[in-house]
Structure 1
Amino acid sequence: MEEIIKVHMEGLKFGDIQIHKHVALIPIININGSGPDYWTMKEAMERNLLTVSEVSEGGHVPELKVSNMGDKPVLLLDGEELSGVKQNRVLNTTILLREKSETTIPVSCTEHGRWSYGSSHFEESGYIMSARLRSVKNASVHENLKSDRTFRSDQGAVWDGIAFQARANKVNAPTGAMRDTLEAKQEDMDEFLSHFPIIPGQNGLIVMVNGKVIGMDIVSRTEAFAALHPKLIRSYVMDALTEKPATGKTASREKADAFLAEIKQCTENKFDSIGYGRDYRYEGKKIVGSM
């Protein structure tokens, strides 16, 4: 494994564990610095510096066109959802868009039953795809990167996961939109959110459900993480809402340490990124991830 992941892992510091019901969160503080300056998607859109549209009038499901009109890069996070235009989509990979640029980005559809214009430009929906659905999507993206160097996902698996999520939460989604389920469970997700406050210097988190680690997210800048924190919490809680609390399944720092040790054993692959930097992919027996 290359040194880049080892450096990042060694620079992680954990905050005190936060627990509510069957969900536990361990805040992460990165002591290695903040990285380059950039806007998040929401920040750039609020400043009218970022527009997202179909690649053409007819559209193309797995691609969108993004224009960054600002003087700073913009971070588009894997799994962030864009709503509107012909159908809702999520990012297939994390991208740091170059300033003053126009880019075609890879996406997955999150609204199976609509293909008609509802607006001319996309909006940031306020949601990130649930952690487990992101994992399913990322596994197929990784395979396609290895086979043909594309960021395509298994769209059928994404739709199946969204449909299961709706059924498990007893939500009627007329167009098969992931957003319908997330909006229906907003109050439940926000109840958990109130128990997981962000701490000073935090730029990441490890989340456990019923004592099992289900994922980790780290963002280079604390200011960017603070903007993304509510969306990330909801993405993990969405998975927890489909699981019943289990007795005797406790979260611990030791389980987080074991998870990090597993990451260090993952196979690393490096690919060209769509924006700045390189796209690093990690794969283990029970882990799939990217950086």
Structure 2
Amino acid sequence: MMSLDNDIELLAPQVHENLAVIPLKTQRSYIDMLTLKKGMELGLVEVKECETSQVNTVIVKNNAVAPLILIDGEEIIGGDQNRIINSTILLEANSEMAVPVSCTEKGRWAYKSEFKQSEYMANYNTRKAKRYAEKTSQHTQDVIWSSINQLEVENSFASPTSAMEESYENLKSTHESIIHEFEVESEQNGVLIILNGEIQGFEIFLNPEIYREFHKKILKSYIIDSKIENNTFAVNVDEAKDIISKTFTSSYEKRENLGLEEIFEFENDDGIGTVYAYQNKIIHMSYFQKLKKEIEDEIDEGISLESDT
């Protein structure tokens, strides 16, 4: 694997009922880059439909003098339908790119408004299913639609357009009260999630400033797929350290990049993940617990149902 600074510090765990998070901290990096949120707020970044609209592609224009980082799973809403970014991309300054996306609103194909950044990102189960679908060359869009449908079923909610965003909005007040229990620590730039004593995954960003933009989104993406209940457990920090350590000793496969980033994928006995690097620094890293067989079967069944309709 490439040589990366992988010195990750695990800070004191934070626990609320059966959910625990371990804030992660790495050595601070000073690479200048812009996030989608900041870029759109400053009017330096534009997201639009292709000249002939396509479900799985949008055009992103970066008018800033710094590279733009798009994060895997972050959602944009509006356009002809809501989408998520398929892969973390570092788009160079003053450039335009056709960016691969996936639909998160199956029941709408009509212009609604200019694109804006959503308050949410793809839920944990959808991101994990998408990652496994990409690995096994399944039809990613069908997997995502199936996962969002399952999200609605599990939460006894139905959006008129099968919009993932509306599932989040339906539970917004509940989520906010839970998120309030988890504070962002000084210099924190990552987080590891544990539910009922079982590690679900972790996420690392280039620096604390970028992480702060995604703190709530990441936690909500796990909470919406979890049953939060009064069932405490002891947090095993050593196990968390071991999980992280194993990710850096796994076999990595380099994937074709779309922007300035380098992409390295890995899988081990515990899970699956992706490292996005630039100038030999991790700009984004995501890891998900190994897909359970019953979930894999549900995804396959969902794909079959999608194909039959």
TM-based fold match above 0.5: yes
Shift of residue 226, structure 1, vs aligned partner? 1.4
Aligned to 1:285, which of 265, 269, 293? 269
Give the structure 2 partner of residue 149 of structure 1. none
Give the structure 1 partner of residue 73 of structure 2. 79
SS at match of 1:229: helix
> How far, CA to CA, are the matches of 1:139 and 1:248 in structure 2?
31
Q: Any conservation in 2 of the 1:210–1:246 contact (CA below 8 Å)?
A: no
Matched, 1:263 2:258: no
Q: Any conservation in 2 of the 1:91–1:106 contact (CA below 8 Å)?
A: yes
SS at match of 2:182: coil
TM-score by length of 2: 0.84
Q: Deviations over 1:159-196 (max 9, x none)?
A: 11101111111112111110110111111111111111
Kindly provide the amino acid, as one letter, of the partner of residue 267 in structure 2.
E
Q: Any conservation in 2 of the 1:92–1:153 contact (CA below 8 Å)?
A: no
> How far, CA to CA, are the matches of 1:168 and 1:249 in structure 2?
24
Give the structure 1 partner of residue 19 of structure 2. 23
Kindly provide the amino acid, as one letter, of the partner of residue 271 in structure 2.
I
> How far, CA to CA, are the matches of 1:265 and 1:37 in structure 2?
29
Shift of residue 266, structure 1, vs aligned partner? 3.0
Gaps in structure 1 of 5+ consecutive residues: 145-151
Matched, 1:165 2:151: yes
> How far, CA to CA, are the matches of 2:204 and 2:80 in structure 1?
31
Shift of residue 53, structure 1, vs aligned partner? 1.1
Percent identity among equivalent residues?
28
SS at match of 1:86: coil
Matched, 1:40 2:35: yes
> How far, CA to CA, are the matches of 1:185 and 1:264 in structure 2?
36
After the TM superposition, which residues 74-153 of structure 1 pair with which residues of structure 2 at under 5 Å, given as runs? 74-119=68-113, 121-144=114-137
> How far, CA to CA, are the matches of 1:253 and 1:259 in structure 2?
10
After the TM superposition, which residues 170-181 of structure 1 pair with which residues of structure 2 at under 5 Å, given as runs? 170-181=156-167
> How far, CA to CA, are the matches of 1:247 and 1:124 in structure 2?
35
Shift of residue 286, structure 1, vs aligned partner? 3.8
Shift of residue 251, structure 1, vs aligned partner? 2.8
Shift of residue 247, structure 1, vs aligned partner? 4.9
Q: CA RMSD in A?
A: 1.8
Gaps in structure 2 of 5+ consecutive residues: 276-309
Q: Note closer, same or farther for the CA distance 1:239–1:63 as it changes in structure 2 (3 Å cut).
A: same
SS at match of 2:51: coil
Q: Note closer, same or farther for the CA distance 1:172–1:136 as it changes in structure 2 (3 Å cut).
A: same
Kindly provide the amino acid, as one letter, of the partner of residue 56 in structure 1.
E
> How far, CA to CA, are the matches of 1:193 and 1:244 in structure 2?
12
The number of equivalent residue pairs is 275
TM-score by length of 1: 0.89
Give the structure 2 partner of residue 154 of structure 1. 140
Q: Note closer, same or farther for the CA distance 1:212–1:246 as it changes in structure 2 (3 Å cut).
A: farther
Q: Larger % of strand: which?
A: 2
> How far, CA to CA, are the matches of 2:257 and 2:94 in structure 1?
17
SS at match of 2:225: helix
